[in-house]
Amino acid sequence: MALQLYYHPFSSYCQKALIAFYENDIGFEPRLLEGPDSEAMQRLAELWPMKRFPMLVDGDQTIIEASCIIEHLGLHHPGPVRLIPDNPAAALEVRMWDRFFDNYVSTPQQKVVFDAIRPEGTRDAYGVREAQQMLETAYAWLDRRMAGREWVAGDHFSLADCGAAPFLFYADWTHPIAEGFAHVRAYRQRLLKRPSFARAVDEARPFRPYFPLGAPDRD
C-alpha cells in the first residue's frame, strides 16, 4: 500500500517532511490540502482533529508531526541517507537541535505571520514583538553554533537540518537575519543548495503570492 502524505507544498512543516522523502527518493501518494472543502482536508480532519499538517498514512498507521514522520520513514522505509544517527548520543543531539528549530525558530516565525492574517482589531502587537525578540535570540545562539560547521548536529545532514531549511527560509522573510549573523546566513544558503530542499522550494514557488507579509523577490 502506498504511503499517503497529506500536505501543502508551501507549508514549512510539510517541506520539512518532504526533504526526508526526497533525500531517500521515497515515493508517496500526494494528498494535497487544497482548501477547507477538499476531500483531502476532510479526511485529515477525520484522522487528526487538530487539522495540522503534514500527516502521513502508512497502512493502518496515522503519523502526525513532521519530526515523527521523518523518524517513521527512517525506521520503516530506510534509505542510504540516515537522518537520525544510529549512535544514541548522536541521535539525541540531532533531536535536541530539531526541538530548537521547531520551538524557537518556527514557533515565533509563525506567530508573526499568523498575526498578520488576523482580522483588524484582534492583532497582538506585544506578542509579535516578543516573537521577533525570540527570533533574534535564536539567530544569535545559532550563529555561535554554526561557526566552522557545515550542518547543525554531527558531520552529516540530519533531521535537524530538515527543519532548519524551511524554518530559516521563512524566518528570514519574516524577520530578516542580520548581516552580522554571517554563519546563520551561510548555513541558510547551504540549505537552499541541498537538492532535496531546492526541490521543495521550487514546488512551492507558485504559492509565493500567498505569503501574508509579501514574499521578497529572491531565493
Ligand X SMILES: N[C@@H](CCC(=O)N[C@@H](CS)C(=O)NCC(=O)O)C(=O)O
Nearer to ligand X, 12 or 181 (CB): 12
Strands (E), 67-181: none
- Among positions 62-91, residues that touch ligand X (CB under 6 A) are 65-67
What is the DSSP track for 141-168? HHHHHHTT-SSSSSSS--HHHHHHHHHH
Which residue in 42, 52, 78, 103 binds ligand X (CB under 6 A)? 52
Nearer to ligand X, 51 or 145 (CB): 51
Residue 12, interface with ligand X (CB under 6 A)?
Answer: yes
CB of 182 to ligand X, least distance (A): 28
Residue 115, interface with ligand X (CB under 6 A)?
Answer: no
Q: At what angle do helices 182-193 and 159-174 cross, to 10 degrees?
A: 110
Which residue in 3, 4, 5, 13 binds ligand X (CB under 6 A)? 13
CB of 8 to ligand X, least distance (A): 7
Return the percent helix, strand and coil in the chain, to nearest 5: 60, 5, 35
Among 79, 89, 105, 80, smallest CA distance to 16 is for 105
Counts for the chain of helices (H) and strands (E), in that order: 9, 4
Residue 167, interface with ligand X (CB under 6 A)?
Answer: no
Nearer to ligand X, 66 or 128 (CB): 66
